[in-house]
Structure 1
Amino acid sequence: MARPPLPLGTWGTIRTEKLGPHRFRARARYRDYDGTTRDVEATSTTGPAAIRALKEKLRDRATPNDDEITRETHVSTLADLWIEEVTAEERVAPQTINNYKTSLRTSILPTLGNLRIREATVGRIDKFLREVAKTRPSAAKNAKVVLGQMFALAVRRGALTTNPVRETGRLRKPRRTVRALEADHLEGVRSAIRHWQQPTPGKPGPRHTGDLADIVDLMLATGARIGEILAVRWEDVDLAAEHPTVTICGTIVYLKGKGFFRQEWTKSDAGYRTVVLPRFAVGMLLARKLTAAGNPHDAIFASRRGTWMSPHNVRRQWRQARADTGLEWVTPHTFRKTVATLIDKEADAKSAAAQLGHASEDVTNAYYIVKPALAPDISHILEQLGASPTTTTPERPDHGPSRTA
């Protein structure tokens, strides 16, 4: 009966032989992951030392193949090959690939880039992620996503049998406090914008337009992201309808070497939506249309050169406008949270999620709606802990007439 083959990645009996004074060789048959059994050997000054050297060599055995990724490949090379793959597949948006490259450049490669794939153990990766998370939780989260996909490629190419990133510990999520604008805050926002837009004698630079005020109004009217607001074209609004609407169907993104441009789809499939406009937004858009200068993109909000307006530029303007107002905590995303909180209060979370372009209300509830946790109504049970409505003094027991000596 034929001897059964060795399981993949295992070896048979280790044999040693003396080659000369202070020189020994250890040999074993090893079945590689391609199914071929090969002789592997190592030498050292003593027999036990040769055996130890052989076991280390077998442990770090790289699968012989024609692939460009093996256990000996450096993590930096794996990163380059992975970026090439995701770029060629065209499944990921270009700006997302740019974010991947930023994570590699700023976090991953400076620490792990010179390691070989076999040296990037669960422990080393876990320690790296936790160190990053101490000061930059979001950067650690992004790095874990990137590393997970990189090492998944190494598994697919046969360099590894398991993905070490999957075995790392869960990263601690920072405690989030959702904060939205209230009525007095909104008045402060509009007052800050009015003050910032006023012409100042002797102040250098062009006079401010009404763009910032109108952008904020449309954000409050729709709950859309700032990039989505700046991507709205006149063809996307219907102001003549009985219930005027705007269709959110694109966003402004930035690519190195290309600059800002309109992406013809939103952040997610659920982000493509048509929302009904409140009266204050309809009035603003009608007034703006009467004085709007033409531009080749049909953009409602365009730069002075007729190009797409930069979200970074709008954020910078808002930082200038809110200076010395006590509104430093207010960002363009705060307007989105304000919309979600109001809709949830007056309607429900499902309506808020649809308005914001979320696929479900889970994200909306967790990150966009300000509300305390509501405990179930068990007041009828707790009623038992209250004082009795009538309190009586218990009678003393009657022991009968007293006896005298």
Structure 2
Amino acid sequence: MSGRPRTSIGTFGEIRIVDLGGRYRAETRYRDLDGRLRKVRATARSMRAVQSSIKDRLASRVGYGGGGLLSLSSPFGDLAQLWLEDLEVRDISEGTKENYRDDLRLHVLPFFASYTLGELSTGRVEVFLKSELAVSYSRAKHSKTLLSMMFAFALRHDAIPRNPLEGTSDLIRPKHVVQAMTLVQVQQIRAAVAAWRTGPGVLGPRPDGTVRDVCEVLLGTSMRPGEVLALRPVDITETRQGMVAHIQGTVVERKKTGCHRQDHPKTDASNRRIPVPEFAARVIRERLAQLTPDQSEVTIFHNRYGKVLTLHNLRRTFREVVKDAGLEGLGITPRWYRRTGATILARGIGVDAAATYLGHTSTVITEKHYIQPDAFIDQTPAIMLDRSLRPVDPDGTLLAGRVSDEEDDLLDTIDEAEGEG
């Protein structure tokens, strides 16, 4: 079949310029992504201006015809707004949504706000990621993840022809980053939290040891801070092998509702039963002894009014303790207890087993298939944590080893996905 070759999708034919007497009109036919040819016109007062005008119009074509919400000429802010609207209906936790909103508002949007989608080149994205990496590896990785989701959204709406992240450099994790506490640091913080606000001249009520006990349970169980604060008597079981804790809730902070206990943990995999090392179990038993039988669903660690301890107050007090311990400036937060336990378990029983204990992956055999899911709880992690971190005569061998790449990945997950200090 002979005839003029068909114009390829995304391209245009010959540009014709007509002198209208004092003005010029340029026009051509552009084949959109729906396969249809459409006229594109522009007018201007000079030949050069009309050529520039029609090329700008061609460069900003949506690609699939009229009716699109986004096009190459859309400001980056329009993409951000539509993506945020889509985020609201996604089935993810409110805490994760808040983290995405904050990262977009504080880091991503300020850099790209002046660009249109058609100006989002790989080179510009590379410059942004390099600037983020100069601040921290974690921040750069968060920003890259956010951009990946946003650009995928733009691609689904045919607003951009390709993902500008493609071709950007891999983010290289910096070497020699402190990932977990040393045994010496653990003992320093232990001593500091036990002595916190107990000396002469302290104004106000003396501490009742709640923060001290929370820190001990964090250290012994490698739970997330919110999971420890959400523990109730009903979640604790004594077995012949030792204490078992059922993590089935977490304390969360929300901008609209404040701090409260959520009746489910961060993820499905986080709903788990774990053995508790003996030194942490003793602390929990002492706390349980102070509660009455009708308080089975009151959080074990609560304030003087019986309300949940807030994550904000825990972090604030912990910062003071770290300062008292002489460790200020190292960036140590309550999350470092989880890092420390993860390091011990990864080196002692393997990364996969450690991840399961931490609640990052689902267990091999799902509990719902059993009538008595508590029939057997492997005590190996508890034994290992007790031996390595107990207050008296701890064995620091596992903490003294070098960090492997697999351990790095596990610890990165703690830092990047959990969003708790």
| TM-score of the two chains, using structure 1 as the length reference | 0.79
- Runs of 4+ off more than 6 Å: 293-296
Q: Secondary structure at the match of 1:20?
A: coil
Q: How does 1:265-276 map to 2 (within 5 A)?
A: 265-276=264-275
Give 1:84 deviation, angstroms.
1.0
1:212 is matched with which residue?
A: 211
Q: Secondary structure at the match of 1:246?
A: strand
Give 1:258 deviation, angstroms.
0.8
The C-alpha deviation readout for 1:320-374, integer Å capped at 9, x for no partner, is 12324223334322322332333455544444333323339xxxxxxx9762279
Tell me whether 174-183 or 256-265 shows the greater mean CA deviation.
174-183
Q: Does the C-alpha gap of structure 1 residues 184 and 152 become closer, same or farther in structure 2, counting only changes over 3 Å?
A: closer
* Correspondence 1:126 to 2:156: no
Larger radius of gyration: 1
Tell me whether 48-57 or 60-69 shows the greater mean CA deviation.
48-57
Conserved 8 A contact 2:249-2:263 = yes
Q: Secondary structure at the match of 1:164?
A: coil
Matches of 1:169 and 1:155 in 2, distance apart? 21
Matches of 2:209 and 2:291 in 1, distance apart? 11
Conserved 8 A contact 1:42-1:53 = yes
2:388 is matched with which residue?
A: none
Unaligned runs of 5+ in 2: 363-397, 405-421
Tell me whether 275-284 or 289-298 shows the greater mean CA deviation.
289-298
Give 1:259 deviation, angstroms.
0.9
1:67 is matched with which residue?
A: 68
Q: Does the C-alpha gap of structure 1 residues 244 and 36 become closer, same or farther in structure 2, counting only changes over 3 Å?
A: same
Matches of 1:331 and 1:373 in 2, distance apart? 20
Give 1:208 deviation, angstroms.
0.7
Give 1:74 deviation, angstroms.
1.9
Conserved 8 A contact 1:179-1:370 = no
Conserved 8 A contact 1:222-1:355 = no
2:393 is matched with which residue?
A: none
Matches of 1:296 and 1:76 in 2, distance apart? 49
1:299 is matched with which residue?
A: 299
Q: Does the C-alpha gap of structure 1 residues 158 and 337 become closer, same or farther in structure 2, counting only changes over 3 Å?
A: closer
The C-alpha deviation readout for 1:131-189, integer Å capped at 9, x for no partner, is 23222443332222222222222221222222223343333433353454455444322
Tell me whether 31-40 or 260-269 shows the greater mean CA deviation.
260-269
1:9 is matched with which residue?
A: 10
Give 1:199 deviation, angstroms.
5.7
2:359 is matched with which residue?
A: 357
Q: How does 1:165-184 map to 2 (within 5 A)?
A: 165-184=165-184
Conserved 8 A contact 1:295-1:302 = no
Matches of 2:189 and 2:46 in 1, distance apart? 79
The C-alpha deviation readout for 1:280-306, integer Å capped at 9, x for no partner, is 222222221122377695211112232
Give 1:232 deviation, angstroms.
1.4
Letter in 1 for 2:220: A
Matches of 2:234 and 2:210 in 1, distance apart? 19
1:284 is matched with which residue?
A: 283
Matches of 1:231 and 1:56 in 2, distance apart? 58
Unaligned runs of 5+ in 1: 361-367, 375-405
Letter in 2 for 1:35: G
* Correspondence 1:229 to 2:215: no
Q: With a CA cutoff of 8 Å and minimum separation of 6, indicate the structure with the bigger relative contact order.
A: 2
Q: Secondary structure at the match of 2:20?
A: strand
Matches of 2:131 and 2:14 in 1, distance apart? 43
Tell me whether 270-279 or 342-351 shows the greater mean CA deviation.
342-351
